[in-house]
Chains A and B, each alone.
Chain A
Amino acid sequence: MYGTQSKRDLALELQAQVPFLRPSIHARRANITVKFQDLYGFTVEGNVDDVNVLNEVREKVREQGRVWWALEASKGANWYLQPQISSISEGIALKSSLKLSNFANAITLKKLIRKGIPPVLRPKVWFSLSGAAKKKSTVPESYYDDLIKAVEDKVTPATKQIDHDLPRTFPGHPWLDTPEGHAALRRVLVGYSFRDSDVGYCQGLNYVAALLLLVMKTEEDAFWMLAVLLENVLVSDCYTNNLSGCHVEQRVFKDLLVKQCPRIASHLEALEFDVSLVATEWFLCLFSKSLPSETTLRVWDVLFYEGAKVLFHVALAIFKMKEEELLLTHHVGDVINILQKTTHHLFDPDELLTVAFDKVGSMTTNAISKHRKKQEPAVMAELDQRLRRLNSLRVDDK
């Protein structure tokens, strides 16, 4: 089975391999691009400024760790696991019995999480706050092992596609791109394809599951994180059949962009640029293919606590950060280049999250649900119409 120990060793090794990066004076002068490994073992290409930013981010991660330890020391090891605290984000009415201290804890927790969960605490905090622990507790202890054993020799269209994608998922990564990494990713994806045959396997999930494997301590926990993500955190049907959930989210995103960034929205409309052209990948891969790893995981910190609305905050923030530049574009290619360059160089998670939560207006989960309800019929009608057209094609064919 999956070697938990070896992955932990790898994490340590990676941290050891990444000394404080000091760009040489020559590098500074020449402003050359350097290649290095980030905290999670991904090879990053950046200039000297990027390296400096990453060093600052490392320092901030350490500071954030000290804050969390201090809180554990004063409030108890699992202070954030109290149910009243974790329920606040879901907008559940506070029970009258709820003590003020708990309420204070909840506010503290929300702020803390937006500032980032230290990488060592991530597996534990994500597992509890996302609802994955609860989900796992409702089935027998041996559920995952039984599932994996039951499906290991089965061949389905989903397993074939998964096998095809294993070596193509973050190729070159020091753990993911090894026989051990491929095998672990395979078990998680194949296991899930049997757990939910409507989803089966959807490309995009390979990146998400791979990153979950890197963060979570065990493969089984990564599986449950994937389950809670698809079944509870994200809108349903994002990855099924015709990606209808994803279509809905894209339409909602367009609505929100018009509201929150009207100048950008109207400029892009004039260019006949459909924001889904870039945002589809963001939403399906949860930014894992576009943002640097620590920045992606910082987004996921908030995603697992506050829910799917976080994706809108972050996507809007990316546009908002580049408003002036975007308004000067005359060509679709320029828009895409700006957005790609921006996302690839967002090494400072705080830069992004500050805009996402302070500059982008607040949006409640309820308000977003209303937007979704409004868009659903149109999406369904469109998909249905397309399907009928395709079917008529097939009839003509005969």
Chain B
Amino acid sequence: MARPGNKIIQAKLVLLGDMGTGKTSLVLRFIKGQFYDHQEPTIGAAFFTQILSLTEATVKFDIWDTAGQERYHSLAPMYYRGAAAAVVVYDISSTDTFNRAKKWVQELHRQGNQNLVMALVGNKSDLNSHREVEAEEAEQFAQESGMFYMETSAKTAQNINELFYEIAKRLARISPPRSSGITLNHETPDKRRRFCCIG
């Protein structure tokens, strides 16, 4: 996948958001192209990897898909610690989940990584007829919060690849290797390389 001389970015990505907003479905659509109407609830978190090749870089994602139920909140720092990108997901047909998403964004701002690439994702765009959260409102909140906004549907695959490509592009744009959560290297296999994405 990686072209010779192309820079490799290893990036930890975390998905956060209320239960049933479709975090796992987003990931499964992105990675396997699959969608299930009844996706089993995630307990703790699930881990996935995926590689995206851009012209400017190859991004290797380590994806942590977390449990959404409120009481699992206390586990979240373990998963977002050291992340290079965060995807905060809500369901466009539920205001409650949008409010919960706002709280996640605030918490992420507090955790200190200035370079964190953040996306606000209104999922289930196929449920437009049941919409409770207007795109303009979400867009505005995203802008104020320094994140980009996208509406997706894991069910129809709308904007799923676009979402992860946009994140990859932004990660590639961010400068040098020092920033937490990102490793830049030129394919030099170094066994003692410190794994910097979890910590």
A residues lining the B interface (CB < 8 Å): 161, 164-165, 167-171, 202-204, 206-207, 239-244, 247, 271-274, 276-278, 280-281, 284-285, 289, 330-333, 336, 383, 386, 389-390, 393, 396-397
Contacts and interface: CB of A to CB of B under 8 A. Distances in A.
Contacts of B191: 330
A202 B69 contact: yes
B175 interface: no
Given A164-B19, A277-B78, A333-B62, A241 B38 contact: no
15 contacts: A168-B40, A170-B40, A203-B72, A204-B43, A239-B71, A241-B71, A242-B71, A280-B44, A281-B45, A284-B44, A289-B43, A332-B197, A393-B103, A393-B110, A396-B106
Nearest to A280: B44
B20 interface: yes
Contacts of A273: 198
B109 to A, nearest CB: 9
Contacts of B49: 333
Contacts of A284: 43-44
Contacts of A330: 191, 193, 195
User: Shortest 4 CB-CB distances between A and B: which pairs?
Assistant: A280-B44, A281-B44, A171-B38, A242-B74
Contacts of A167: 37-38
Contacts of B62: 332-333
Contacts of B74: 242-244, 247, 383, 386
Interface residues of B, number: 35
A280 B75 contact: yes
Contacts of B106: 393, 396-397
B22 to A, nearest CB: 12
B20 A164 contact: yes
Given A171-B38, A281-B44, A386-B74, 15 more contacts: A164-B20, A168-B38, A168-B40, A203-B19, A204-B43, A242-B73, A247-B74, A272-B195, A274-B198, A284-B43, A285-B43, A330-B195, A333-B49, A333-B62, A393-B110
A167 B38 CA distance: 6
A332 B195 contact: yes
B39 interface: yes
A386 B77 contact: yes
Contact of B41 (A206, A280, A386): A206
A381 to B, nearest CB: 13
B107 interface: yes
Contacts of A397: 106
Contacts of A281: 43-45
B198 A272 contact: yes
